[in-house]
């Protein structure tokens, strides 16, 4: 087990390159199950969720090579349509294999993901979409069993906008017979990227980037390649690192259109930025003003940046309110930040953050991926040493963040520990 030891208070400066987006890779990889061919995904991040998806796809028969962020996936010899519990329990995104396996092979058996660190995360919308497309779906002994001869295009009107369910429905519909209309679909960049990949394989999709997505099913798809988008949440996390340490840094390889909501809030609290040739230049002022956020679907403020924002607000001038409209309970980081001297209270599914003059280093424990990022950010700004335990959560989604932060001048070290 590893932990971070951070000596806080160092100013950051310099430039780092942003990694590829974890959440788009996790959709692109299972999409390759839709063909029997060779596919390549460039700019794939080296993070543990990607290794989990690799293992899952390998159990299905996908031959995979992963070198220097280039991922080759050969789907010519698929041997199984079963996604076992041992992989799915580690990562909910495993459910992305459901749509592709069902539509391509007429059968998919996928373990139910179960609970999540911050509360229930249902998959009812994924299952309803498969049923709308004509599949028989049953739950048996902890598994989803979905069957169908050939899926048929259908109208799928999501009650709630869901990234995963939109992705699964799109992947199932591209090989279904006839026309599918998805209403209230996700507009997230990861879904746009998935659609781009499917279209390159030969799928017929339009309307992506809006909530109305139209798909005309095709008989078969061929192998393709795609350059993955940069990780917008890593950009946001590093931008907050700059703001909270009152530093000027440069982030290379940024898609500014993907981070507008975050940058807008950063500007409101006093930070400044410039953007040129895919480089984001972040300049900060001495005072952080308090700024409320309410998370929402893209292009709104992302839930995956909520915990990091709360950390920034710990040192702001005044009181701010953080409301998560996507995951109401995503506040497990609050008691840990309070151990560092923050003043945060949970009030009716929102976090009310009263700014304090300083945070003081202590031992804290990660509870999930974005919560661990929030603790690292707090450690960068805190006086003295902060130890962040259980950083295996962080390693699921950030590619060696400590190396990036060290390049920027932070004093952060990864050390092995028996502490849990």
Q: Which is nearer to ligand EPU, 3 or 126 (CB)?
A: 126
Cis previous bond, 204, omega within 30: no
- Rounded (10°) angle between helices 124-132 and 163-173: 20
CB of 64 to ligand EPU, least distance (A): 18
Task: List C-alpha distances in Å: 7 to 53, 298, 307, 316.
Answer: 34, 35, 21, 21
Complex with ligand EPU: residue 275 or 327, whichever CB lies closer: 327
Q: Which is nearer to ligand EPU, 104 or 330 (CB)?
A: 330
Give whichever of 130 and 359 is closer to ligand EPU, judged by the CB atom.
130
Longest dimension (CA), the chain: 64
Which residues are at the interface with ligand EPU (CB under 6 A)?
Answer: 23, 26, 92-93, 121-126, 160, 162-165, 190, 302-304, 326-327, 369-370, 397
Query: Catalytic site residue 116?
Result: yes
Nearer to ligand EPU, 302 or 355 (CB): 302
DSSP state of 341: T
Residue of 116, 139, 160, 183 marked catalytic: 116
**Residue 356 Cβ vs ligand EPU, minimum distance, rounded to whole Å:** 26
Burial class, 120, CB count within 10 angstroms (exposed 0-12 / middle 13-18 / buried 19+) = exposed
Helix or strand or coil: residue 259? coil
- E-strand spans in 148-212? 155-157, 179-183, 204-206
Rounded least distance, CB 276 to ligand EPU, Å: 28
Q: How far apart are CA 293 and CA 323, in angstroms?
A: 6
Residues 6 or more apart whose Cβ sits within 8 Å of residue 174: 34, 103, 198, 201, 203, 204, 205, 215, 217, 218, 221
Shortest CB 378 distance to ligand EPU, Å:
18
Q: What residues are labeled active site?
A: 116
């Amino acid at each position: 087990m590893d932990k971070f030891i951070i000596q806080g208070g160092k100013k950051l400066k310099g430039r780092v390159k942003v990694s590829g987006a974890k959440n788009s890779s996790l959709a692109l990889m299972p999409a390759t199950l839709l063909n029997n061919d060779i596919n390549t995904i460039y700019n794939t991040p080296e993070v543990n969720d990607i290794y989990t998806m690799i293992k899952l796809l390998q159990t299905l028969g996908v031959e995979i090579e992963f070198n220097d962020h280039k991922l080759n996936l050969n789907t010519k010899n698929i041997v199984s349509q079963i996604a076992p519990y041992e992989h799915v329990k580690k990562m909910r995104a495993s459910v992305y294999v459901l749509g592709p396996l069902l539509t391509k092979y007429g059968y998919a058996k996928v373990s139910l993901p179960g609970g999540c660190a911050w509360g229930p995360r249902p998959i009812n919308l994924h299952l309803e979409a498969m049923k709308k497309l004509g599949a028989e779906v049953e739950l048996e002994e902890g598994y989803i069993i979905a069957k169908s001869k050939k899926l048929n295009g259908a109208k799928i009107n999501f009650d709630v906008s869901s990234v995963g369910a939109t992705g699964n429905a799109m992947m199932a519909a591209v090989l279904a017979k006839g026309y599918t209309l998805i209403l209230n679909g996700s507009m997230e960049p990861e879904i746009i990227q998935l659609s781009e990949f499917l279209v390159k394989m030969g799928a017929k999709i339009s309307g992506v980037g809006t909530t109305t997505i139209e798909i005309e099913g095709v008989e078969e798809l061929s192998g393709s390649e795609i350059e993955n988008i940069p990780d917008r949440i890593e950009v946001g996390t590093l931008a907050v690192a700059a703001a909270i340490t009152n530093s000027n840094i440069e982030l290379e390889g940024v898609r500014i259109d993907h981070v507008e909501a975050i940058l807008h809030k950063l500007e409101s609290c006093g930070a400044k930025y410039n953007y040129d040739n895919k480089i984001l230049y972040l300049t900060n002022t001495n005072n952080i003003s308090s700024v409320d956020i309410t998370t929402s679907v893209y292009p709104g403020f992302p839930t995956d940046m909520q915990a990091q924002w709360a950390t920034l607000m710990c040192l702001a001038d005044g009181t701010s309110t953080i409301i998560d409209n996507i995951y109401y309970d995503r506040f497990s980081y609050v008691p840990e930040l309070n151990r560092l001297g923050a003043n945060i209270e949970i009030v009716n599914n929102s976090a009310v953050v009263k700014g304090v003059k300083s945070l003081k280093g202590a031992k804290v424990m990660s509870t999930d991926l974005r919560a661990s990022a929030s603790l690292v950010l707090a450690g960068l700004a805190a006086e003295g040493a902060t130890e962040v335990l259980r950083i295996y959560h962080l390693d699921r989604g950030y590619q060696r963040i400590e190396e990036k932060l060290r390049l920027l001048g932070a004093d952060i070290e990864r050390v092995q520990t028996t502490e849990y």
